[in-house]
Structure formats: C-alpha cells, structure tokens
Amino acid sequence: MKRLFTLLILCALSLSATGQFCGKNYDVEVEDIVERAAQLEGAKPRLVLVGSSSIRKWDGVESLFGGYEVVNAGFGGSCFEDLLRYREDLIYGLQPDVLFIYEGDNDLVSGRNVEEVVEVASRLLEEISETLPSANVVLIAPKPSIARYALFGTYLDLNEELRSMAGEQGCDFVDFWNVMHDDDGRLRKELFVSDGVHLNEAGYGVWVDELRRVVPWVFGE
C-alpha cells in the first residue's frame, strides 16, 4: 500500500511538471478575459498577449508596455490548437494593433509532434494575416525549462520551424532559448519558480531585456 501511494504521488508530481493536456475547456477563462477587455477605454493602441501560463503569469505587463492598452489574454495549460479554437474571442474580437503569441510549450509535453504543432500554428498565422492585416504579430518561441529539459532537442526543432514560418508570414520572432542559458550552455535555474516550469521575476526580466533588443519598436525605442 505504501509503495502504491508513493507511485501515485510521483505520477501527480509528473503531471504537475508537464502541465495540462491540450483540448481543455477554457470557456470560463476566455469569458473573463473578454469581460476585462471590454472595460478598457480604448484610448491607446491595443497590445494583446495571448498564450499559455507563461503569458498568464506575467505580471506588470500593463506598465511595461505603457504606450498601449494591454490585454493579458493568457490561459494556462493551452496549446496552439486551443488558441485556434478560441481565436474569435481572444484575437479577432479583441482587435489588437500588436499581438504577442506564446504557444507550443504545452503542445510538445502533451505528445504533439513538431509537424502537428507547426501545421496548426501555420494555419493560425495565415488566418491572422488575412483577418487582421494591419496588426503587428510577435511570435515567441517556446522557452526552455528545468522540468521539461529532457525534450530540449524537440523544442529546438520546433523553434527553428516556427522561426522559418514567422519569416514567411512577416511576423517578428523572439527566441529566449540562448539568453536563458549561461555562457557555458547551462540552463539558468535561478530564473524559475519551484515547479521548474514557470518563470520568476528574474526570468521575466531576461525576457524583457531580450524583447527590448529584438523588438525595440514595441517599447517606442
């Protein structure tokens, strides 16, 4: 019995580290995002950040992107296919002037292969370019993390495919992989909270520095 209990605990910890599976019902989360966005005044250009929990947990984005009316439309555990499913509410309905997209992290952990992820991402980006032709899209590559580092080769393959696709679609592309490693190529574990997946304040600080370097126009620089 004790051994069985230990195995159950280990399985639960494993599921916690790898995140939720794709395809969950996010109706409640999406409704809340839409309601919050509807309360904004609309006096500035709108910047929408959409994607999984690395977006949802990013505090301070309103002041960071002070030149915009900011909507944090992150919904934790999501994948590209979920964003595609909720695109009418979270993208087209919010009418972004600037759109940040972060997906792909949970996709790989949920067993999707690179080709499957790229197929959905490509469909989404093509549709966005047709529906919102004046929007500036910034595609963010899946980040490395402690808990998911065993899949690093697959992550790198996906990121290269996404980089190529972003270029074809005229999107800006930001990849935090290198800056989240030290000069010796070791993952900087001090950038993560205790679950080994999500970022702490220092981790988001690294993101901001790289964003300022790669897409300075977002900051008016």
Dist. CA 211–CA 187, nearest whole Å: 19
CA atoms within 13 Å, Cβ hemisphere of 147: 19
- Within-domain flag for 8: no
Share above pLDDT 70 across residues of the chain, in percent, rounded to a whole number:
91
Q: Who's near 161: CB < 8 A, 6+ residues apart?
A: 114, 118
pLDDT digits (tens, 9 = 90+) for 147-192: 999 999 999 999 999 999 999 999 999 999 999 999 999 999 999 9
- Within-domain flag for 3: no
- Residue 108: the pLDDT is 96
pLDDT band at 221 (very low <50, low <70, confident <90, very high): confident
* Adjacent-strand bridge partners of 49: 72, 100
- Within-domain flag for 5: no
- Within-domain flag for 10: no
Residue 59, both tokens: 């505090």
Number of domains observed in the structure of the chain: 1
Angle at 77 between CA 73 and CA 81, to 5 degrees: 80
* Boundaries of domain holding 46: 27-219
pTM: 0.90
- Within-domain flag for 184: yes
Dist. CA 144–CA 125, nearest whole Å: 23
CATH number where 32 lies: 3.40.50.1110
What is the pLDDT of the chain when averaged over all its residues?
A: 92
CA-nearest of 1, 2, 64, 32 to 219 is 64
pLDDT digits (tens, 9 = 90+) for 74-127: 999 999 999 999 999 999 999 999 999 999 999 999 999 999 999 999 999 999
- Within-domain flag for 127: yes
- Within-domain flag for 102: yes
- Within-domain flag for 9: no
Dist. CA 83–CA 19, nearest whole Å: 16
- Residue 168: the pLDDT is 95
